[in-house]
Amino acid sequence: MASKINDENAKELIASGKPVVIDFWAEWCGPCRAIAPSVDELAEEYEGKVIIGKYNVDDDADLSAEYSIRNIPTLLFFKEGKLVDKHVGSASKADLEAKIKALL
């Protein structure tokens, strides 16, 4: 299961030095719900290696504003505290996993 990421814990997680994947989503977003099972499965498969979490844009706004998130789902990929990749829209589990492997 993906971790819950919010404005309170996001900076600390990104600065941890571990690879981080943040899924920006909302409950009402169909494509967000479509990729949610893949994100949760990848979170379990890469537990301990990569921090994978979900950021609800309806509950928090600071991080989405900072990274100019205009469409959801958007996934941001961080390595050593720096944004290294971004994916907007739906994606297959294999596509997401390839991006995660690039972080390792």
Q: In the 8-state DSSP scheme, what is residue 2?
A: P
For the question of residue 102 being annotated catalytic, the response is no
Question: How far is C-alpha 79 from the chain's CA centre?
Answer: 12
* Catalytic choice (13, 26, 29, 36): 29
* Catalytic choice (10, 32, 43, 100): 32
For the question of residue 3 being annotated catalytic, the response is no
What is the CB neighbour count within 10 angstroms for residue 85?
14
Q: What are phi and psi of 23, to 5 degrees?
A: -100, 110
Catalytic positions, written as ranges: 29, 32
